[in-house]
Amino acid sequence: MKVYGLIGCPVEHSVSPIMQNAAFSVLGIDALYCSFNVPEDNLGDAVQGMKALGMSGFNVTIPHKESIIPFLDFLKEDAAGIGAVNTVENVDGRLVGHNTDGRGAVMALEKKTRLDGSRILVLGAGGASRALCHALLDEGVDSIYLANRSLKRAENLCRELRKAGGNCTPSGLSKRELAESAEDVSVVVNCTSVGLYPQADETPLPGKLFKSDMVVMDIVYNPLETRFLRDAREAGAQTIAGVEMLVWQGALAFEIWTKKKAPFELMRDEALKALGDGGVK
Ligand code: ATR
């Protein structure tokens, strides 16, 4: 039997074990996925242990996505570009780091819209935003407006994206700045944690800035429909729930490990069931 896992802190509420084990089971793969709560000080020992035990692969979540890099043997281009790893593959005893977060978000967006040549407003400039923005550049977007509470952080990420060939404009989160940026875009993605349970009444973008021809995605998936997404839906925009991106990043990890097509619909059904049962208050 192959063994996979998730390392992070905390990991108790993760739906990854449910999604991945369901996918292994339906494809008849003899494998098990478990979650491991690993505090920051134990990260190096944990990774060495996973390697020594011959685990086939694992996911990495907060707070280890960046700090795991020195403990790995090789980084794939996506992970190296983003500077963070969410998926590790054990290739003949060498731990190879991948990042499926950005590509997962792009897969969710591409189900609803063409990204090539489009203008996009991204709210937030943390790790999730960095992963998404690098993947958007890979898709050939025309430009990214990057709005963040800390302007300095938005400027720093924009500088990095320009170096990677992107056309990126930083701003703060004032109503005036947001109105100017939202005017011009066809896609809006929330990569901040605003709206996450229990602050479910909050939203990073005033509802009146949504337009009916926009595609709007939230990375927050608890609640499944955030106020940000509700406002967008009520304005007539097409919306993509955060759970889509969550499932896509897991499906892409599954495909890296097994070299088989992931049963995406099943993984989404299982994730929704688990979130409905206990994740969403
Ligand atoms: P992640 O890896 O999930 O992106 P992160 O790196 O901690 O997490 O980033 C969180 C993002 O949410 C940041 O863009 C943060 O803004 P700052 O860079 O200004 O901190 C944003 N964020 C968190 N709480 C916020 C709030 N109350 N209002 C606006 N933005 C917020």
Predicted confidence (pLDDT) per residue in 20-58, tens digit: 999 999 999 999 999 999 999 999 999 999 999 999 999
Taking residues 159-180, report their average pLDDT.
Answer: 97
pLDDT value for 279: 46
CA of 79 to the centre of ligand 1 (A): 21
pLDDT digits (tens, 9 = 90+) for 115-145: 999 999 999 999 999 999 999 999 999 999 9
pLDDT value for 119: 98
State yes or no: pLDDT of 280 exceeds 50. Answer: no
Q: Judge whether 16 and 268 are in contact, CB under 8 Å.
A: no
pLDDT value for 202: 97
Task: Calculate the alpha carbon distances from 157 to 163, 171, 267 in Å.
Answer: 10, 11, 32
Residues ≥6 apart with Cβ < 8 Å to 154? 125, 146, 147, 148, 170, 171, 172
Identify which of 62, 67, 192 to mutate to test ligand 1's pocket (most ligand atoms within 8 A of the CB): 192
Strand partners, 187: 120, 215
Q: Please state, in angstroms and rounded to a whole number, the distance separating the CA atoms of residues 195 and 202.
A: 5
Residue with CA nearest ligand 1 atom 30: 149
pLDDT value for 46: 98
Identify which of 158, 193, 194, 199 to mutate to test ligand 1's pocket (most ligand atoms within 8 A of the CB): 193
Q: Which two tokens stand for residue 26?
A: 């339906």
pLDDT value for 276: 84
Residue with CA nearest ligand 1 atom 7: 126
Q: Which two tokens stand for residue 150?
A: 């800390």
pLDDT digits (tens, 9 = 90+) for 195-243: 999 999 999 999 999 999 999 999 999 999 999 999 999 999 999 999 9
Q: Which two tokens stand for residue 218?
A: 């939230």
pLDDT digits (tens, 9 = 90+) for 244-273: 999 999 999 999 999 999 999 999 999 999
Q: Please state, in angstroms and rounded to a whole number, the distance separating the CA atoms of residues 77 and 83.
A: 10
Q: Which two tokens stand for residue 33?
A: 């996925």
3-state secondary structure of 188: strand
Residue scoring higher pLDDT (167 or 281): 167
Residue in 176, 213, 210, 168 with CA at minimum distance from that of residue 190: 210
3-state secondary structure of 42: helix
pLDDT value for 281: 40
Q: Please state, in angstroms and rounded to a whole number, the distance separating the CA atoms of residues 78 and 81.
A: 5
Please give the torsion angle defined by the CA atoms of residues 34, 250, 102 and 255, in that order, rounded to the nearest 10 degrees.
Answer: 110
Strand partners, 4: 33, 57
* Residue 2: active-site member: no
pLDDT value for 277: 57
Strand partners, 96: 74, 89
Q: Which atom of ligand 1 is nearest to the CA of 130?
A: 4
pLDDT digits (tens, 9 = 90+) for 71-128: 999 999 999 999 999 999 999 999 999 999 999 999 999 999 999 999 999 999 999 9
Name residue, tokens 């500077």: 83
Name residue, tokens 């299982």: 270
pLDDT digits (tens, 9 = 90+) for 172-191: 999 999 999 999 999 999 99
Please give the torsion angle defined by the CA atoms of residues 103, 104, 110 and 111, in that order, rounded to the nearest 10 degrees.
Answer: 160
Say what percent of the chain tops pLDDT 90.
96
pLDDT value for 174: 96
- The neighbour count for residue 48, using CB atoms within 10 Å, is 12
Strand partners, 57: 4, 89
Q: Judge whether 140 and 107 are in contact, CB under 8 Å.
A: no
- The neighbour count for residue 52, using CB atoms within 10 Å, is 9
Instruction: Indicate the pLDDT class of residue 278, thresholds 50, 70 and 90.
Output: very low
pLDDT value for 20: 98
Residue with CA nearest ligand 1 atom 11: 192
